[in-house]
Amino acid sequence: MIQLLMASSILFLIPAIYALTNRQCIIGAIITTCSIISFIFWSNPEDETVREWDIMFARINFTYMVIHGLIYYDFSNTVELLMTLILLGLVIHTFMGSNYLYGDNNLWIFYHFFFHINCTLLNSIVIKNVIERSIL
């Protein structure tokens, strides 16, 4: 089951590659690092040192994306705004659900898997807006 989380950690590379191919090197580097550390952590979730690194880089990624999402987001695009708000709600729900269910059964793994998927989609939307509104 943990292999799902390893696979979904690799999916973070999709928005990372999108950022890097559009000259958004900092965002691309942060997400790539986050993806690699997450993959390493889920390949051996008992390693507390890697767990701390995973948490730290996830927080860096989250903070950076929220700040850039607020700065560069096109709030006039109603459809995209609605989609983003739904995804943000799903990110919160799946993260909280995985924390709540952790240890009870394997259901928490599916919640965390969908948390990764939702983060990948949300990161892609933020990067799209950064690319469209950046002055490069």
pLDDT 10s digits, 36-69: 999 999 999 999 999 999 999 999 999 999 999 9
Per-residue pLDDT tens digits for 72-129: 988 898 999 999 999 999 999 999 999 999 987 899 999 999 999 999 999 999 999 9
Q: Write down the pTM of the prediction.
A: 0.92
Burial class from Cβ neighbours inside 10 Å (0-12, 13-18, 19+) for residue 5 reads buried
User: Domain range for residue 114?
Assistant: 2-133
Give the integer Cα–Cα distance in Å for 57 and 38. 9
Burial class from Cβ neighbours inside 10 Å (0-12, 13-18, 19+) for residue 80 reads middle
Query: CA-based diameter of the chain, in Å?
Result: 49
Residue 20's pLDDT band (boundaries 50, 70, 90)? very high
pLDDT at 13: 97
Q: What's the domain count of the chain?
A: 1
Give the integer Cα–Cα distance in Å for 46 and 61. 23
